[in-house]
Homo-oligomer: A and B are copies of this chain.
Amino acid sequence: MQLFESTLDNRAAALSAHRALLDRAIQAIHERTFYAAYDENPKAYAEDGMKTGAAAYEALLGKPFSLKQASDTLLQAEEVSPYTGQPLGITYPAYQQPEGYLKAAQAAFTSWKATSPQTRALLLMESLARFKDGFFLQSFATQHTTGQGWMMAFQASGPHAADRALEAIALGYVEQSRFPEYQQWEKPMGKVSVHLKKHFRIVPKGIALTIGCSTFPVWNTLPGLYASLVTGNVVIVKPHPGAILPIALVVRDIQEVLAQYGFDPNIVQLAPDTAEHPITKTLAEDARVKIIDFTGSSQFGDYVEQLPGKITFTEKAGVNSILLDSTQDLKETMNNIAFSLCLYSGQMCTCPQNIFIPEGGIRVAGEQLPYDEVVKALVAAVAGLAGHEKAGPAVLGAIQNPATARRVRQASQLGKVLLESRTIANPEFPDARTASPLILEVPASKLDVLKQEYFGPIVFVVPTKHTEESIRLAAEIAAEKGAISCGVWCTDGPTLHHISDVMSEAATPVSANLAGPIYVNQNAGFSDFHVTGGNPSGNASLTDPAFIVRRYHLVGMRILSN
């Protein structure tokens, strides 16, 4: 495939060094083997990164954040660190009225839509190079807004997010290069031929709105943001009021690259707001906004999806299941599950909630292990990890939202308590808001409980008649309420195949027999599709072709050339 036929925009010629990486990323998308353009190991970057990153973060606190975009006011943000309980105290450039963003976006659209997909892709890759230089600063910004543990914050808001952004750029570039830009068409008609010159134009839709969430303000925002930008749309980024800084850093990187190469920095704008004076609906409902990317609650996501005249890409809530049927190694399995339940205190969209275990127990290395023993092993593994002096606070991190902490306290009445939630002592941050997983036993008949997402470290162990009932329940809940992951432990080939068949009908990815350092919560860029779009947990998938091609239209122009 010849990728670079048309002339590179002069302004971006200097960026042609990114071409090799773009080609590699395109190859990776189509192979779906392991590929990472950005190393997830912090040690691969600056040796003094922790120190300089922390200092850079501290230097931002309590001050106005500087962006290249136009604005007419400063917004005092509500960001509070879940680790220290202290406000970040940052102010951001903003408009008093949402109209300001829309006008600036409209003005920026004129030149951006006329820029070639190739130039757009290379400019956006340059912004990722700049983003990479700020991974350490980003890790502290993410840690102190989301409550993620530091390592997770580094990986999720750094290399993993950058990989997902590159994936969107690369697939966006491929899709826009699929058909010839110009073509000569000759139709033989008996003695004569008709000749037409054709020009197939990529016509972006216009203004895109990207609505962020408080737990993954970067990882969940970058795919839609970069997909809209590479396809020629201009983007207004509306972050969650509680997690503005992480994505503000990304917007700053993109704006600086745009300005450096002579483009209007308002091609991407940050539009922060507060819980008291929200602007999201005003922006979302404006007729000039054509595309909306959303991550957050099902309630707001449903509202976004039904807005008339919009192309929407949503990731909402789901209720994820684990099916325990049989395993070769109980300890490995329970340690793996425990990590998935503890990681970021259950505040991941991929975190399991309902764990289905046959009341007759499960097969372990060929021997039947009674239900009570299985539950005991699970509870012990979770208690062990959460209570581990070093690993506990690092893996669990902090609770982003006080409402989540309240939910955990109120949830214990939902079933029989198998493991109490408790606070986790964090020597570095004595004021951190923490909660270890609450594990309850809930009967399979309590579908009203099992079918609801209890966001946070809340886990239900559900005894079932047999694996077949486990499967039926997991699939029913996924189809009806949505699911983004499904963890299965099953050593029987045909049963596993059957589970995969049934869960695929609910468009739910299955991860089977995981052990060691790989978890059901994790999705790999360039290989795993994230959210399928086929159940109520969301209508889009990161990053499949539908995530790209709906952001523009192909419009054919024809002129007779006889």
Determine if A510 and B558 form an interchain contact, defined as CB atoms under 8 angstroms apart.
Answer: yes
Quick one: given A32-B200, A185-B34, are A556 and B534 in contact (CB under 8 Å)? no
Min CB distance A471 to B, Å, is: 14
Determine if A178 and B559 form an interchain contact, defined as CB atoms under 8 angstroms apart.
Answer: no
Q: Which residues of B have CB within 8 Å of A529?
A: 200, 554-556
For the complex, give the distance between the alpha carbons of A108 and B500 in Å: 20
Interface 9-mer from A3-11, A239-247, A511-519: A511-519
Closest B residue to A551 using CB positions: B546
Q: Which residues of B have CB within 8 Å of A178?
A: 30, 545
Q: Which residues of B have CB within 8 Å of A200?
A: 32, 529
Determine if A512 and B550 form an interchain contact, defined as CB atoms under 8 angstroms apart.
Answer: no
Q: Does A476 contact B (CB under 8 A)?
A: no
Quick one: given A187-B34, A518-B187, are A532 and B553 in contact (CB under 8 Å)? yes
For the complex, give the distance between the alpha carbons of A507 and B201 in Å: 9
Known: A34-B187, A203-B507, A203-B532. 10 other contacts (CB 8 A): A178-B545, A185-B527, A198-B527, A205-B534, A496-B559, A500-B557, A512-B559, A516-B560, A516-B562, A546-B549
Q: Does A21 contact B (CB under 8 A)?
A: no
Q: Which residues of B have CB within 8 Å of A203?
A: 504-505, 507, 532, 534
Q: Does A189 contact B (CB under 8 A)?
A: yes
Determine if B517 and A194 form an interchain contact, defined as CB atoms under 8 angstroms apart.
Answer: yes
Q: Does A544 contact B (CB under 8 A)?
A: yes
Min CB distance A295 to B, Å, is: 18
Q: Does A97 contact B (CB under 8 A)?
A: no
For the complex, give the distance between the alpha carbons of A331 and B185 in Å: 24
Determine if B511 and A555 form an interchain contact, defined as CB atoms under 8 angstroms apart.
Answer: no
For the complex, give the distance between the alpha carbons of A502 and B414 in Å: 60
Determine if B183 and A557 form an interchain contact, defined as CB atoms under 8 angstroms apart.
Answer: no
Q: Which residues of B have CB within 8 Å of A184?
A: 33
Closest B residue to A290 using CB positions: B534
Q: Does A524 contact B (CB under 8 A)?
A: yes
Min CB distance A307 to B, Å, is: 10
Q: Does A192 contact B (CB under 8 A)?
A: yes
Q: Which of B183, B194, B205, B557 contacts A504 (CB 8 A)?
A: B557
Determine if A555 and B504 form an interchain contact, defined as CB atoms under 8 angstroms apart.
Answer: yes
Q: Does A23 contact B (CB under 8 A)?
A: no
Determine if B194 and A558 form an interchain contact, defined as CB atoms under 8 angstroms apart.
Answer: no
Encoded as 1 (CB less than 8 Å from any B CB) or 0, chain A from 192 to 226 comes to: 10101011110101000000000000000000000
Quick one: given A183-B527, A504-B201, A546-B546, are A514 and B553 in contact (CB under 8 Å)? no
Determine if B555 and A189 form an interchain contact, defined as CB atoms under 8 angstroms apart.
Answer: no
For the complex, give the distance between the alpha carbons of A308 and B305 in Å: 9
Determine if A33 and B534 form an interchain contact, defined as CB atoms under 8 angstroms apart.
Answer: no
Q: Which residues of B have CB within 8 Å of A505?
A: 203
Min CB distance A489 to B, Å, is: 10
For the complex, give the distance between the alpha carbons of A507 and B534 in Å: 29
Q: Which of B196, B504, B509, B549 contacts A544 (CB 8 A)?
A: B549
Q: Which residues of B have CB within 8 Å of A554?
A: 529, 532, 541, 544
Closest B residue to A188 using CB positions: B34
Q: Which residues of B have CB within 8 Å of A557?
A: 500, 504, 509-512
The 29 sampled A-B contact pairs (Cβ below 8 Å) are: A31-B183, A34-B187, A187-B518, A192-B517, A198-B528, A199-B500, A201-B504, A203-B532, A203-B534, A504-B555, A509-B557, A511-B557, A511-B558, A511-B559, A512-B560, A513-B560, A515-B560, A515-B562, A518-B560, A528-B556, A528-B558, A529-B554, A529-B555, A529-B556, A532-B555, A533-B553, A546-B546, A546-B549, A549-B549
Q: Does A508 contact B (CB under 8 A)?
A: yes
Q: Does A299 contact B (CB under 8 A)?
A: no
Determine if A556 and B515 form an interchain contact, defined as CB atoms under 8 angstroms apart.
Answer: no
For the complex, give the distance between the alpha carbons of A356 and B180 in Å: 32
For the complex, give the distance between the alpha carbons of A512 and B196 in Å: 9
Q: Does A175 contact B (CB under 8 A)?
A: yes
For the complex, give the distance between the alpha carbons of A30 and B181 in Å: 11
Q: Does A186 contact B (CB under 8 A)?
A: yes
Q: Does A300 contact B (CB under 8 A)?
A: no
Determine if B194 and A518 form an interchain contact, defined as CB atoms under 8 angstroms apart.
Answer: yes
For the complex, give the distance between the alpha carbons of A179 and B560 in Å: 38
Q: Which of B509, B524, B549 contacts A187 (CB 8 A)?
A: B524
Closest B residue to A114 using CB positions: B501
Closest B residue to A515 using CB positions: B560
Determine if A31 and B180 form an interchain contact, defined as CB atoms under 8 angstroms apart.
Answer: yes
Q: Which of A484-541 contact B (CB under 8 A)?
A: 496, 500, 504-505, 507-518, 524, 527-529, 532-534, 541
Q: Which residues of B have CB within 8 Å of A32?
A: 179-180, 183, 185, 198, 200
Min CB distance A83 to B, Å, is: 28
Q: Does A306 contact B (CB under 8 A)?
A: yes
Q: Which residues of B have CB within 8 Å of A183?
A: 31-33, 527
For the complex, give the distance between the alpha carbons of A192 and B512 in Å: 19
Min CB distance A161 to B, Å, is: 18
Q: Which of A297-320 contact B (CB under 8 A)?
A: 305-306, 308
Closest B residue to A508 using CB positions: B555
Quick one: given A32-B198, A203-B505, A546-B546, are A555 and B534 in contact (CB under 8 Å)? yes
